[in-house]
A and B are shown apart, each in its own frame.
Chain A
């Protein structure tokens, strides 16, 4: 879009005033959607940075993290200001944090979280205490989602089960919980997410900024030419999908909104059976997804739940060879961010001690 930012995002402003150094920018996928062309995770893997901020639209920060054997965290929706975030799916995306240690995530999140008068959409809620020492009570209930393991390779499944054993060994009460509507998360994300993306990108019309395609004879030609040259194949198919639901199948969009509300209710009921929900986080995304939309959805099948419901979720790498088996996701209720990170710290600390 050839646009130079005029102002610091609130997150950037808060990093600076907290004395945190921003070393630079890493390569991302177009609009941060998916991980095609993204170098997310590399800067943390090579220890050139302690934390990397990666917009999480459907699980990008978590999948990128476990691929390099690091931790990825998506905060509760509305906890971190989106002012200055050049987003795509306003109701689902959140600034994700990627680091080798959950402790670094906690420190940085503590600096950037909290109400911002420039982001009117943030609810007025108390910020979880990131400075407090959280202990994980014995018998913390974790519920493993039965339906979420179907897409794993045998190797990934074994790794995931090892992760669950780690939780049990750490004193968690593990149970299996079921959500028969699980496949609908992907469907809802597909429809609602792409419709929002189609709206969000309406501003890239080459009228006020951005490269304008030459030779157009009227407004419509200018618009089609400029946007045609500006967007890549994946984003184009994504926006096309969204425009289809906006203009041609609005009833499906309304259904998806209703289903989303139902899934939120079902998730809340599950959160009464368990303190945290557990899902796998396979190390997908990147080269194999190319630019096919279906491949992108397949790569993030296990991670997009938390984007649909707005819950905080932490992906931890599984023990063993970094990246190959992927990770395990712990998803907590809204605003449980601080204790979720404490749980992750405990698990990784124990792992280090075992060695």
Chain B
């Protein structure tokens, strides 16, 4: 029998808010242990939660960015379970009335066809504390760091629409881009600001039954999500093929052994409406206010870049994944740089140079205006490509403009025919062998001669003019 997988994703995203979800403590889980705590997030007697306005706004922005529909009424529930990472015996989460319902993301399927994957709902919840297990001599001790307790999270729950690891991975890539676009989170699986659980079951291909699912956790990259899903499909297919029952449980991905390992029986505690956090009522005006803050989303931007600058769909799509890169590109266009060389120089020269210097594109001293000046010099043949690369390197070190550097260093390209004719004549006289080779039809001798002229000119000769002169003289 042939099986097909049914996969749903639960994605936790840590919002990049200044404070925690229910108190004013800084939302910096990485600080010194328990530095960011207060009577509210430690749930001392008499503490009262207070929902962060910024968290609500960021969460709402994220929902709208994913095409979801914000609910006029949403509320917090208590997810009851007892564990030392939970300072009050329950986690505040929106189990019954989530912040938004619906939404979805379009991706390119394996066969290159666009396909939409649906989001069931998105809800807000608070993060839990971090447990650290240590040895005090021979005595094992468990320490709790409450810095993360109460950090603002959203959970995106998809429909079980995915039928392959590829689909899930593509979905996550696009989702990450969109959430970064709205500025709600860095969405790094490596540092844990994005955490993905996959619910996987299998069924005979072509049926629509829903079988017992297994939850897989602990993947710290999108690649691992794909690997874990692929492994789990194999594992379950083999089990069902051997007539073993699949039981509801949670498994952990082991990235070293590249297998999933059973963790525990899945315990679902009760979810009781919370009486302390008031119901969240969103007016249509408030929702429109948030919608107005929504940036142009990547798919729309890519389409516009294609239309306005004549980029290919691939180029525009690639450019739009990162809002900073796309913004930089558009600033170059605004400064009058032509699209194709602009894109080429941005992606092949500037981005690697910025990365090499461990800078952020938004903070590099080579601003779009300065970079545009350099590209204009190149376009006007005032300098050649090699010189441009060298000037770019200097622009990271000095505040001087490209033209200034060119002038100061005497980099200006020599395009004056009379001056170049003199150098060409000298080289031809000095290289009789190469001249003979060229005349006998050996094409690469021309390259050698051009190189000699460039060298003699200190790299400043315009190679196009040199080629013309050489061919004219010898041909």
Report which A residues bind B (CB closer than 8 A).
1, 3, 5-7, 9, 82-87, 90-91, 117-121, 123, 195-196, 198-199, 201-203, 205, 207-209, 219, 223, 246-247, 250, 253, 257
B209 contacts partner chain A, Cβ-Cβ < 8 Å:
no
Stretch at the interface among B97-105, B271-279, B361-369: B271-279
Contacts of A196 in B (CB 8 A): 272, 275
Chain B 241-281, CB-CB to A under 8 Å as 1, else 0, gives: 00000000000000000000000000001101111111000
Q: Which of B81-89, B116-124, B213-221, B427-435 contacts A (4 or more CB under 8 A)?
A: B81-89
Residue of B nearest to A7 (CB): B39
Residues of B close to A3: CB separation below 8 A: 44-45
From B43, B48, B87, B144, A120 is in contact (CB under 8 Å) with B48
Contacting pair B45 A90 (CB below 8 A): no
Interface centre among B51, B82, B276 (most CB of A within 10 A): B276
Interchain nearest-CB distance for A188 vs B (Å)? 14
Q: List 6 A-B contacts (CB under 8 A).
A: A84-B46, A117-B50, A203-B43, A203-B45, A208-B44, A219-B142
In this complex, which of A123, A196, A247 has the most chain B Cβ atoms within 10 angstroms of its Cβ? A196
Complex contact A202–B276 (CB within 8 A): no
- In the complex, A202→B90 CA distance in Å? 7
Known A195-B272, A219-B142, A223-B82; contact A120-B42, beta-carbon cutoff 8 A: no
Residue of A nearest to B81 (CB): A202
Partner of A1, one of B45, B50, B88, B274: B45
- B49 proximal to A (CB < 8 A): yes
Q: Report Cα–Cα, A307/B100, bound state, in Å.
A: 33
* Residues in chain B within 8 A of chain A (CB atoms): 39, 42-46, 48-51, 78, 80, 82-84, 87-90, 142, 144, 146, 269-270, 272-278
A202 to B81, CA, bound (A): 9
Contacts A199-B90, A257-B273 known; list 11 others, CB within 8 Å.
A7-B39, A83-B46, A86-B45, A120-B49, A120-B50, A196-B272, A199-B274, A202-B89, A207-B84, A208-B87, A253-B272
- In the complex, A223 Cα to B142 Cα: how many Å? 14
In the complex the two chains form, is B82's CB within 8 Å of A207's CB?
Answer: no
Residues from chain A with a CB closer than 8 A to the CB of B78 are 199
Whether the pair B272, A246 counts as a contact (CB closer than 8 A) is yes
Q: Give min CB distance, A279 to chain B, whole Å.
A: 24
- Do B278 and A120 touch (CB < 8 A)? yes
What are the residues of chain B within 8 A of A83 when measuring CB–CB? 46, 48
A interface secondary structure, majority? loop
Task: Tell which of A6, A117, A253 has the most Cβ of chain B within 10 Å.
Answer: A6
Chain A residues with CB under 8 Å of B87's CB are 203, 205, 207-208
A227 to chain B, nearest CB (A): 10
Residues of B within 8 A of A117 (CB): 50
- Please tell me if the beta carbons of A219 and B46 are within 8 angstroms of each other in the complex: no
Q: Which residue of A lies closest to B278 (CB)?
A: A121
Chain A residues near B272 (CB-CB < 8 A): 195-196, 199, 246, 253
Least distance between B84 CB and chain A CB atoms (Å)? 5
Known: A199-B89, A205-B84, A208-B87. A82 touches B275 (CB 8 A): no
Q: Which residues of B contact A1 (CB under 8 A)?
A: 45
What's the Cα separation between A119 and B50 when bound, in Å? 7
Distance in Å from the Cβ of B293 to the closest Cβ of chain A? 24
Separation of A144 and B84 alpha carbons in the complex (Å): 51
Contact A246 B39 (CB under 8 A): no
Closest to A209 in B: B44
Q: How far is the CA of A117 from the CA of B49 in the complex (A)?
A: 11
Q: A249 — nearest CB in chain B belongs to which residue? A: B270
B92 smallest CB distance to A (angstroms): 10
Enumerate the 5 nearest inter-chain pairs by beta-carbon distance, A residue then B residue, closest first: A202-B89, A91-B275, A90-B275, A203-B88, A120-B50
Residues of A within 8 A of B51 (CB): 120
Chain A residues within 8 Å of B142, by CB: 219
A86 touches B84 (CB 8 A): no
Take A90-B275, A199-B80 as given contacts and tell me if A250 and B270 are in contact as well, using a CB distance cutoff of 8 Å.
Answer: yes
Q: Which residues of A sit under 8 angstroms from B146, Cβ to Cβ? A: 208
Are B82 and A85 in contact, with the CB atoms below 8 A? no
| Whole-angstrom CA separation of A117 from B23 in the bound complex | 12
Nearest CB of chain A from residue B191's CB, rounded to whole Å: 26
Contact A120 B277 (CB under 8 A): yes
Give the distance in Å from the alpha carbon of A137 to the alpha carbon of B260 in the complex.
76
Chain A CB count within 10 A is highest, among B44, B48, B83, for: B48
Complexed CA–CA distance, A277 and B39 (Å) = 40
Taking CB atoms, residues of chain A closer than 8 Å to B84 are 205, 207, 219
Contact with B276, one of A86, A90, A219 (Cβ below 8 angstroms): A90
A250 to B273 Cα, complex, angstroms: 12
Specify the chain A residue showing the minimal Cβ separation from B273: A257
Taking CB atoms, residues of chain B closer than 8 Å to A198 are 80
Which listed residue, A6, A120, A247, touches B270 by the CB 8 Å rule? Answer: A247
A7 to B23, CA, bound (A): 15
B144, B146, B275: residue with the most chain A Cβ atoms closer than 10 Å: B275
Please give the distance in Å from A263's CB to the nearest CB on chain B: 16
User: Are B270 and A121 in contact (CB-based, < 8 A)?
Assistant: no
Q: Determine the chain B residues whose CB is within 8 A of the CB of A6 once the complex forms.
A: 39, 44
Contacts of A9 in B (CB 8 A): 46
Q: For the complex formed, measure the closest distance between the CB of B136 and the CB atoms of chain A, giving whole angstroms.
A: 15
**CA separation between A195 and B82, bound complex, in Å?**
15
Contact of A121 among B80, B89, B90, B277 (CB under 8 A): B277
Q: Which of B44, B89, B276, B278 contacts A205 (CB 8 A)?
A: B89
State whether A121 and B144 are in contact (beta carbons under 8 Å apart), knowing that A84-B46, A202-B82 are contacts in the complex. no
The residues of A that contact B42 with a CB separation of less than 8 Å are 208
Q: In the bound complex, do residue A202 and residue B88 qualify as a contact, i.e. CB atoms below 8 Å apart?
A: yes
Chain A residues, CB < 8 A from B46? 5, 7, 9, 83-87
